[in-house]
Structures are given as C-alpha cells and as structure tokens.
Homo-oligomer: A and B are copies of this chain.
Amino acid sequence: MFSTIKTVKVYEEVILQIKGMVNSGKLKKGDKLISERELSNQLGVSRTSVREALRGLEVIGLIDCKQGEGNFIKKDFESNFFEPLSIMFTLNKSSTEEILELRRVIEVETVALAAKNITNEELIELKNLMDEMKRNKDEELKGNLDKKFHYKIAQASRNNLIVTVLDVISSLIDSFIKDARADILKKENDEEIIHYHHECIYNALIKGDAEEAASIMRMHMKLISQNILK
C-alpha cells in the first residue's frame, strides 16, 4: 500500500528552520532576526512566504515584530502559552469543574514540594502577604494578594514548568469563571476560614512538613471549588 506523502508548505519550512535555530540555541530570547529580505535571500523563498512565516511565529508568540525595528525572539514566551489552552478549553466545551480540579491536582503536590524547598525570605514574604490580606478591605486587592500567595508557593517548588502551568490555569479561571473570588466569599465566615487555611499552610511550610501542607491545601481547594460551583 502507498503511504500518504506529506506536503510541507513553503512558509512552514521557514518556520521549521527558525524554530530549529531556537532549539539548537543559535537564537536566544531577545535576539534580533535578520531582515525579511535577507531571510528571503538566504532561504531562497519569496518575501510572501517569509512574511507568512513571521506572522505565524508572531501569533504563537515566538517572535515580536516591532514596526521599523525588526523581528525579535520574544522574552516572555510564557504569556502566549495561555492562548492554545484557552481555545482548546472553548472548543472542547470543558467544564469549570475540570479547571478547578486540575488546579487542585497540581497545587496539592506543589505545596508538598514547596515544603521541602522554600527559603526563609519566601516564608517572610508569605507572612507579609497574609498580613496585608487581613488588613485590607478592598475585594479586588485582596484577590490579587491571594493570587500572589499561591504564586509564591508555586515558585517555592523550584520548578518553573509548574509555575508556568499554574499561571495559565489561573488565567483560565479568571477568564472563564467570572467573579470567582466574589463567589468564594458568598458566605460571611468563609473569609475567616480562608485566612485560617492560609495560616495552616504557612505553618506547615515553616515546619517543612510536606504531607501536612498537602492535606491542608487539598481542604483549601475543596472549599474554593464548592463555593464557586454551588
């Protein structure tokens, strides 16, 4: 039997070559690409194909096309990681339960890692965030402090891949669950429970007790999901 011959479009070839240079380390974050004309000459393809390839790379967030300055390998590629997950989420008609569950799945084990790797400076920062959260009355500000608290714990896991994935999940929650935090605080005394959970997590981190940290985080995530979903 014959097997299908895969035809690669010219612009795809250009993309492959540029990605190849990123993979091999020849192109690094912030590096400027050679001009469209030079690319077209060196690769022996039309300017149109080069431009199509650059547009494609801009859309996936690998390069930044600055008018009049040229094309650069992006420095903050992470932010663009959100896009495909977000589209997939919509196309698959995923439920909010699924996002919240994925968040729980990752955060429970992440706080266990943090218990082993957190620094004293990070512990002090967590304490400051908790104090600020208690002092503040503004809901939006408190929401941001809450996010920072969880972000700091993710960083303390010393795994950047985990930080990125949790960051994307947080963006997903923000864009698909409107007023998530308002929902969380529907019941009067839930705010106190959340503060209490944060303090227990903090204490487990100080002790370096991975199991305790994980089990409180599991409880914390359960409360949050219940309030958002009910």
Indicate which residue in B19, B92, B99, B110 contacts A105 across the interface (CB closer than 8 Å): B110
A84 to B85 Cα, complex, angstroms: 10
A159, chain B: closest CB distance, angstroms: 5
A 60-91 to B, binary, CB cutoff 8 A, 1 in contact else 0: 11100000000001000110110111011111
**CB closest residue in chain B, given A92:** B160
- A182 interface hit (Cβ, 8 Å): no
Report whether A60 and B78 are in contact in the complex, using a CB–CB cutoff of 8 Å: no
Counted per complex, copies of this chain come to 2
A162, chain B: closest CB distance, angstroms: 6
Among A48-56, A134-142, A187-195, the stretch in contact with B: A48-56
Report whether B101 and A162 are in contact in the complex, using a CB–CB cutoff of 8 Å: yes
Report whether B102 and A161 are in contact in the complex, using a CB–CB cutoff of 8 Å: yes
- A165 interface hit (Cβ, 8 Å): yes
Q: Which residues of B contact A90 (CB under 8 A)?
A: 22-23
Chain A residues within 8 Å of B, Cβ to Cβ: 11, 15, 19, 22-23, 28-29, 51-53, 55-62, 73, 77-78, 80-81, 83-85, 87-92, 94, 98-99, 101-102, 104-106, 108-110, 113, 159-162, 164-165
* 10 closest cross-chain pairs (CB), A and B: A56-B59, A105-B109, A52-B55, A98-B161, A81-B84, A102-B161, A98-B159, A55-B56, A77-B88, A77-B91
